[in-house]
A and B are shown apart, each in its own frame.
Chain A
Amino acid sequence: MFKKINLKGKTALVTGAGKGLGKACAIALAEAGAKVIILSRTKSDLDKVNKIIKKTKGSSQSFVCDVTEPEEFKKVLKKISQLDILVNNAGNNRPEHFTKVKQESMEYLTDLNMKAAFNVAQQSSKKMVKAKNRKKIGGSIIHMSSQLGKVGCEGRNVYNMNKFGVEGLARGMAVELAPYNIRVNTVCPTFVETPMVKKFFKNKKFKNKMLKNIPLGRVAKESDVATAVAFLAAESSEMITGTSLVVDGGWTAQ
């Protein structure tokens, strides 16, 4: 009756896998038995993740790749033979008040969080639908969204725009890829203890204010999010598509 999270025989590609959530997802998917393809712009980060996966007796392969360069990503896809799961994770944020957002920040964030997310998802989907047995074995695409893909927040207007967009993309993709039995979902975490958030939380006033918005009174751990991603990647969730798994300690329930 209960379907365990088991990814044996599956190949998963994770973008932004050098640090933070991407790294955690890559390791979690490997722990669940998947062969993991990890992408990042920084080779030394990839080496570290490879080492951890090796230690846990998992299997991984890494590529240095800037996902905002579609041609670079295409080359990576050509080098891998199988793809069943995509964790579309690479993303960034630069908090600025709406009236002060620099044109350059808006374009940088939107190019990475939306355009690159779209391109990576589209190219990966093209590869996934080519597998002859796809309908039978299924596929799963997980976009790393955010609670800020559901609600607004101060200084997060560009990030809000990007992540609400990703939520829309996921639903559209879910409808179009359903005939191939490829499921598409998002994970919407609250603030997670990652290098990116640690930087924001150096501002203690901001940190306390944000914690007050999380009813459970704690930030999420990387493992909380990575486990949710693994759940959506596996057949445990084989009828879950076009929706979000919100991992926010109650933030958006208010």
Chain B
Amino acid sequence: MGIFLKEINLKGKTALITGATKGLGRGTAQAIAEAGGNIIAIGRNQSELNSLAKVIKKLKVEYTSFNCDVNDYNRMKDFITKLKKLDILVNNAGTNIPESFLNVKKSSMEKILNVNTKAVFNVAQLCANQIIKLKKKQGSIINISSIFGLVAGQKRTVYSMTKFGVEGLTKGMALDLARYNIRVNSVCPNIVLTPRTKKYFADKKYNKYIKENTPINKVVTISDVATSVTFLASEAASMITGTSITIDGGWTSK
């Protein structure tokens, strides 16, 4: 701890991460553990939850996992309300099915909405209540949003609808939870190279679209996003609430 430089240190803190088995969720779990935080990983793939255990335990922090679909409200509630330790939520589980507006299937729309909006709301509410119940003096909730929570993108109408919604939720939660000193923020990354987005990058046309829209000539990495999330989770960001960190190489500055 310096005079004016606060350390990003999560020792003794416990973070629940949804969608923790792959991509951003997995990277964030790792980054938080590197900063000293204990991990509660939620995911649907047992073998990946097990392989994450190995990575996290090497960092000498506690690891708990729960194999559950975030849409399963009752099981999530049962699990979260029994937690003895909880300081941080990384509300990461999300999905996307790119379709142009006129051709969006009702089933796709409902699936994306259920995961990206309803489950995000429910998990956030359950965790906020639990953090308050545990009488924590501070808490931090980070919703994984997107640049498409700030601007539109091709074939992203439903995704934008859900992520703009998450931006609104973030601000509303920040106000309601400020009295408990629970901070609520979002991170808005550009399209990150993850297992889920690999297919977008493989599409030459889409790849070009990403490149042309990103002034900094690089792809956002999982580590870029995980670092910002870890910063927001820590007391180094103790006056940051109700806002977003945009990690987009300048996409939305144009």
Contact = CB atoms under 8 A, between A and B. Distances in A.
A190 B239 CA distance: 9
B243 interface: yes
Contact of B227 (A28, A183, A236, A243): A236
Interface residues of A, number: 55
B175 A223 contact: no
Given A215-B241, A249-B239, A250-B175, A231 B231 contact: yes
A241 B216 contact: yes
B62 interface: no
A220 B6 CA distance: 13
B239 A247 contact: yes
Contacts of A231: 231, 236
B223 A1 contact: yes
A1 B34 contact: yes
B227 to A, nearest CB: 4
Contact of B243 (A2, A5, A179, A248): A248
A238 interface: yes
Interface in A23-81: 24-25, 27-29, 31-32, 52, 56
Residue of A181, A238, A239, A253 with most partner-chain B CB within 10 A: A239
Contacts of A174: 215, 250, 253
A190 B241 CA distance: 11
B181 interface: yes
B250 A178 contact: yes
A179 B211 CA distance: 12
A151 interface: no
A2 B250 contact: no
Contacts of A222: 4
A13 interface: no
Contacts of B223: 1-3
A211 interface: no
Contact of A226 (B5, B171, B227): B5
A56 B3 contact: yes
B118 to A, nearest CB: 22
A218 to B, nearest CB: 8
28 contacts: A1-B27, A1-B222, A1-B223, A3-B224, A3-B227, A27-B5, A28-B2, A31-B5, A170-B253, A174-B215, A175-B215, A178-B249, A179-B217, A215-B242, A216-B241, A217-B179, A223-B4, A236-B228, A237-B224, A237-B227, A237-B247, A241-B216, A242-B250, A243-B245, A247-B237, A247-B239, A248-B240, A250-B178
Given A2-B35, A241-B216, 9 more contacts: A2-B8, A2-B30, A28-B5, A189-B239, A222-B4, A236-B228, A239-B248, A242-B254, A249-B241
Interface of A: 1-5, 24-25, 27-29, 31-32, 52, 56, 170-171, 174-175, 178-179, 181, 183, 189-190, 215-218, 220-224, 226-228, 230-231, 236-243, 245-250, 252-254
